[in-house]
């Protein structure tokens, strides 16, 4: 089933993907981007629901060609003895089994680490689940949104006078997928010296909690519970999205002392940098709303292009708040090959994001869009 067009640092690594939706399959997408051969097992009753999720055209998901890119689709009913035997054979040939079932499901099918390692001692089994493989909540259902809640990020997202909000993407699932890739790569590295595989246990809520900075220490030591602060980060100013004369939003991050001096110069208000109310990071944080209004009063009188040109001139970090429409035409995205146009299996020309990160010697690639259901079934 190998693909000669595959490139990247993981060429030669074979991954068996078991699972649906986002957390496991996004990890499989990333491994495939880096050159791994990813064989995805799908059920015969329609396969992965991601084939039908998101925006669709004539019933075809525009998400599927990306999240299943660089993968092969093999249809198998794990409850059917012959199909299960085929999947077990594939697992014994693989370097990695990637799964996002509930804990205990693999054991029912003889696809758990202990069973596979008897004949494939180098096998790495990477689990992605809501609450991990152990602990009192291990067997509970756990989608990404629940992981975002339990992991703490929902409490800190949104405006302070409104209920907690979510990001407009599946943040919890995607974070878990990235930690699954990090864990898998770490296990592959260790195997190169020990010759032995192991299990990698990723819980969605833990992947989210890992991003929560010093919030636990803030509470335990100082009694501070970080909460929602809208588009700003409490105590960090000026660093927010500001309105422009032509209706755009521009993000300006000038919270460091030297950068704030340069922003004040760009605004034609150099005296602000010497004002005791704003001269230090702490002082600016205490008066962030007042400072944001001063910056907004300036940005409202200029177009976004005028503001960005001034920020470049004065070395102040800034950027327009992009939509997808901005991304697909942005010269920097294009120069770094971050917009790849691929023809889906149904003949639709689709822009999709390129491979992250960039490798200087063994670049990853997109060799194929998401496959048809069962396209690679033996």
Tens digit of each residue's pLDDT (9 = 90 or more) over 193-221: 999 999 999 999 999 999 999 999 999 99
Rounded mean pLDDT of 41-52?
Answer: 97
For residue 101, being part of any structural domain is answered with: yes
For residue 54, being part of any structural domain is answered with: yes
pLDDT at position 2? 58
pLDDT per residue as tens digits for the range 289-300 = 999 999 999 999
In terms of domains, do 125 and 203 share one?
yes
Residue 240 and residue 232 in contact, taking contact as beta carbons nearer than 8 Å: yes
For residue 51, being part of any structural domain is answered with: yes
d(CA 254, CA 242): 12
Percent of the chain predicted with pLDDT > 90 = 98
Rounded mean pLDDT of 91-99?
Answer: 98
In terms of domains, do 282 and 342 share one?
no
* Cis peptide, bond prior to residue 88, ω within 30 of zero: no
For residue 4, being part of any structural domain is answered with: no
Residue 76: domain span: 14-211+337-353
In terms of domains, do 183 and 274 share one?
no
* Cis peptide, bond prior to residue 263, ω within 30 of zero: no
In terms of domains, do 46 and 181 share one?
yes
Q: Give the list of residues 6+ apart from residue 89 with CB closer than 8 angstroms, or none.
A: none
d(CA 305, CA 310): 9
In terms of domains, do 315 and 345 share one?
no
For residue 139, being part of any structural domain is answered with: yes
In terms of domains, do 140 and 35 share one?
yes
Give the phi and the psi of residue 163 in degrees, each rounded to 5. -60, 160
**Count of structural domains, the chain:** 2
* Coil, strand or helix at 13: coil
Whether residue 173 lies in the annotated active site: yes
5 pLDDT band, cuts 50/70/90, is confident
For residue 178, being part of any structural domain is answered with: yes
For residue 328, being part of any structural domain is answered with: no
In terms of domains, do 115 and 201 share one?
yes
Other beta carbons within 10 angstroms of residue 350's beta carbon come to 19
Check whether 3 has a pLDDT greater than 90: no
In terms of domains, do 22 and 152 share one?
yes
pLDDT at position 277? 97
Other beta carbons within 10 angstroms of residue 363's beta carbon come to 17
In terms of domains, do 262 and 202 share one?
no
pLDDT at position 1? 54
Q: Is 9 exposed, middle or buried (0-12, 13-18, 19+ CB in 10 A)?
A: middle
Catalytic annotation, pick one of 173, 218, 246, 292: 173
pLDDT per residue as tens digits for the range 147-191 = 999 999 999 999 999 999 999 999 999 999 999 999 999 999 999
For residue 229, being part of any structural domain is answered with: no
In terms of domains, do 191 and 287 share one?
no
Task: Name the token pair of 198.
Answer: 């192991």
CATH number at residue 315: 3.30.1540.10
């Amino acid at each position: 089933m190998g693909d000669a067009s595959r490139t990247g640092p993981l060429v030669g690594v074979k991954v068996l993907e078991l699972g649906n939706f986002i957390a496991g399959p996004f990890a499989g997408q990333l491994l495939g981007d880096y050159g791994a051969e990813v064989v995805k097992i799908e059920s015969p009753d329609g396969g992965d629901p991601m084939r039908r999720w998101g925006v669709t055209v004539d019933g075809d998901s525009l998400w599927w060609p990306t999240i299943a890119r660089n993968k092969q689709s093999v249809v198998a009913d794990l409850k059917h003895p012959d199909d299960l035997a085929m999947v077990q054979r594939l697992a014994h040939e693989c370097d990695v089994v990637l799964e996002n079932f509930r804990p205990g499901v693999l054991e029912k099918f003889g696809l758990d680490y202990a069973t596979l390692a008897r004949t494939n001692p180098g096998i790495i089994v990477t689990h992605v689940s809501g609450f991990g493989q152990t602990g009192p909540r291990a067997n509970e259902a756990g989608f990404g949104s629940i992981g975002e809640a339990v992991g703490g990020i929902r409490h800190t997202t949104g405006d302070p006078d409104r209920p907690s909000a979510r990001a407009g993407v599946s943040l919890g699932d995607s974070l878990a997928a990235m930690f699954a890739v990090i864990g898998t790569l770490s296990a592959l590295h260790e195997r190169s010296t020990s010759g032995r595989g192991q299990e990698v246990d990723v819980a969605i809520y833990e992947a989210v909690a890992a991003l929560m900075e010093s919030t636990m220490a803030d509470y335990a030591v100082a009694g501070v519970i970080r909460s929602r602060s809208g588009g700003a980060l409490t105590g960090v100013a000026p660093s927010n999205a500001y309105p422009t004369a032509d209706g755009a939003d521009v993000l300006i991050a000038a919270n460091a002392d030297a950068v704030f001096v340069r922003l004040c110069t760009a605004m034609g208000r150099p005296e602000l940098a010497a004002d005791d109310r704003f001269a230090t990071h702490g002082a600016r944080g205490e008066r962030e709303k007042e400072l944001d209004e001063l910056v907004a009063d300036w940005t409202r009188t200029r177009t976004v292009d005028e503001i960005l040109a001034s920020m470049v001139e004065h070395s102040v970090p800034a950027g327009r708040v992009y939509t997808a429409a901005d991304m697909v035409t942005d010269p920097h995205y294009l120069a770094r090959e971050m917009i790849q146009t691929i023809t889906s299996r149904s003949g639709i020309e689709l822009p999709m994001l390129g491979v992250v990160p960039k490798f200087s010697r063994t670049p990853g690639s997109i060799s194929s869009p998401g496959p048809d259901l069962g396209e690679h079934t033996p």
